[in-house]
Amino acid sequence: MTAAAIGTTPRPALLGAIFVFNLIEFLSTGMTVLAAPAIMGHIGASPEEYATVSALYAAVAVLAISQMTVLLQRLGWRNYLLGAVLFYLLGAWVCATSASVAGFAGGRLLMALGGGVFMTVSRMMVNLIPPSPQRLQGIAAYGAALSGGLALGPWVAAKMLGHEAWGGMFLVLAALATLGALIAARWMPQDAVTLDRASGGSPSRMHAIDAILLAAGAAITLYALQHLTYDWHGERGSLLAHLVLGLALLAAFGLLHARRSAPFLYLGVLRSPRYRLGLVIFSVCYAMLGMVNTLLPQVVQKGLGVGLEQAGELQGTGLLATVIAFFVMLELVKRRPHPTKFFVTGFLMLALLGWRFATLDPRAYAWDAVIFWLGLFGGFLTLGMATTAIHAFKELQADNVVFSNAQQLKNMLGQAGLALGVGMTNIGLQERTALHASRLAEKSSLLFDGGAELARQAGLLAGQDLFWIVLWVGLGGAALLVLQRRFD
């Protein structure tokens, strides 16, 4: 494929599409995590029901991501993006207007079917820029959307909740998706340029049995992980059996799909030690994203006595450091690209974040106490994920289809990493809250208000306990990545 053939889309339009589609992904993540309690209250969902919706969303997103390349090869960039946006818009509208669990679940599944691929397809659009230093413009647009979405998500959600208009979050996402569709309809290529196998080989094929095994395995595994957070002391045996079954189905998919001559996911990328290490780092980053996003609202609200709206504003303001960290890193990597300093700095930032919230003084003023430290979390995500993205895929960039499959696998694991981070954190919170509540109950002075103060203090102490884990993950990650040589 020649550079002239690749570079037919006007550069501003292409950069706009990269930015918008990736912004939707991370804006959505930040908003829905913070607004989960409000959404559950409005649609009348129990925590178990909401967990099921989340698990199904992730499973459908995994399936959609797995089929991205094979569908794009058949539909072309323009039609594929327009089809994805159509499903996403329908889902967003259903979610915004839903008043029941069933309606909201249907909307979320439609959003996953269309929007689950937005992050992956955004990254592959970067490769529509001919190989040259100019491709860094695409990386900048992609990274700016990631860091900006992480910061804006909690802030926008807080504003919507403050006006009792949680459905407006989904209308914001729909407006952005409409903008992306307009760009795609006017300027994106009609063919599958860069992914059409024109340089040799055959297009990827759909394998129905493989897709069923993947979807079923992902759904059962994520369902078990999510529900373990609520049934750890109840149906633990049944859920662990579901977890084993889901993992067995995923293993069966891997064994069967690895033998296909034209797979929709080329699993041979897993033979690269560099790529495998990258997947591990990405998975840790996604798990920490899920864990910290779950812990922060609890510790900030119960520890500093602020409401959900102010907690969202605090989180959004602090995470603006993510944008700054990304552009500083972008300048540094041009001159000194070696990854060790970025990895170590990022994981030490995570360790400092863990230490600060593990030792949080409830008497502190909220804005002074947490803003800087929330910025460290943004720095960790930027340095950890962006550095890995730069170095983990170097051996796979010669073939755009293989590179696309590697991105798909990484983002599919991201769904599991988020679920694992959220799930294990909630299990830990249950265990530690119960322990601290029993100890605090011995102090009768905390029971005068019906136990509200006891519950607040127990929840705060439980969150602080788990932030010590964040500290040790940060220190351990920094120590191990000093020793790594895969990216040298």
CATH assignment of the domain containing 133: 1.20.1250.20
Residues 235 and 276 both lie in one domain = no
> Do the domain assignments include residue 476?
yes
Other beta carbons within 10 Å of 17: 26
Q: Which of 465, 424, 135, 437 is nearest to 284 (CA)?
A: 424
**Alpha helix ranges (H) inside 359-399:** 366-381, 387-392
Residues 229 and 331 both lie in one domain = no
The whole domain housing 303 covers: 269-488
Residues 40 and 57 both lie in one domain = yes
Q: How far apart, in whole angstroms, are the C-alpha atoms of residue 285 and residue 343? A: 11
Please, what's the b/e burial string for 382-393 (b: 16 or more CB within 10 A of its CB; e: otherwise)?
Answer: bbbbbbbbbbbb
Residues 227 and 192 both lie in one domain = no
> Do the domain assignments include residue 264?
no
Residues 8 and 149 both lie in one domain = yes
> Do the domain assignments include residue 461?
yes
Tens of pLDDT, residue by residue, the chain (488 residues) = 444 445 577 899 999 999 999 999 999 988 988 888 889 889 998 877 887 888 889 899 999 999 999 999 999 999 999 999 999 999 999 999 999 999 999 999 999 999 999 999 999 999 999 888 888 899 999 999 999 999 999 999 999 988 888 899 999 999 999 999 999 999 999 998 888 764 445 678 889 999 999 999 999 998 887 777 666 667 788 888 999 999 999 999 999 999 998 899 999 999 999 999 999 999 999 999 888 988 887 788 877 778 888 888 888 888 888 888 888 998 898 888 889 999 999 999 999 999 999 998 887 777 777 888 888 998 999 999 988 988 899 889 888 999 999 999 999 998 778 877 877 787 788 788 888 888 887 775 655 555 677 778 888 889 999 999 999 999 999 999 998 888 87
Terminal CA-CA length for the chain: 30
> Do the domain assignments include residue 224?
yes
Token pair 């005068």: residue: 448
Residues 458 and 353 both lie in one domain = yes
Number of domains in the chain: 3
What DSSP state is assigned to residue 339?
Answer: S
